[in-house]
Amino acid sequence: MTYELEVPLARQVDMAFQQMEGELKGMTAGTIVLQVRNDTVGKFGIRHLPVDLAERRAAGDNKPEGLTGEMIGDLRRAAVDAIKRKVSWTHGEVTYDFVVKQGKLYLSVTFESNYNMANVLFHLNSKRRGKRDISSEN
């Protein structure tokens, strides 16, 4: 028996961010990646960027301040808001590039659409076949 639960994409994004919260705490920079297929988040994770050595030296060789709980909440809300704005999009990858500089969070969101030519040709062929079938019936 298969159970299929329809969870809105925005809620799935929120759940993915909740899952990554522990790993995000204290990070100063990185890229969060979500792979989406058929309006479902599949793989998700974080790509870490190297620590800026000049920033570490300026901070007295101490680890620079990274994401706080409040910043992670802001990041999660921004991610959910961004995905809500994307309509008629079901396949692709979303990347959230972030950096914390001087205690401020900076975020950039990129959507990559993925299409499959086999699906396009299948639907085109189905439409043509449907028209031929209808016209030959008359």
* Residue pLDDT, tens place only, 83-131: 998 887 788 999 999 999 999 999 999 999 887 777 777 777 777 766 5
**Residue 137 backbone phi and psi in degrees, to 5:** -75, -25
E-state strands within 13-125 = 29-37, 40-48, 92-101, 104-113
Residues 6 or more apart from 110 whose CB is under 8 A from it? 94, 95, 97
CA 52 → CA 29, 61, 79, 129, distances in Å?
9, 11, 25, 59
Locate the domains of the chain by residue range: 9-137
Instruction: Answer whether 37's CB lies under 8 Å from 69's CB.
Output: no
* Residue pLDDT, tens place only, 14-38: 999 999 999 999 898 999 999 998 8
pLDDT confidence tier of residue 63, bands split at 50, 70 and 90:
low
Instruction: Answer whether 115's CB lies under 8 Å from 91's CB.
Output: yes
pLDDT value of residue 34: 96
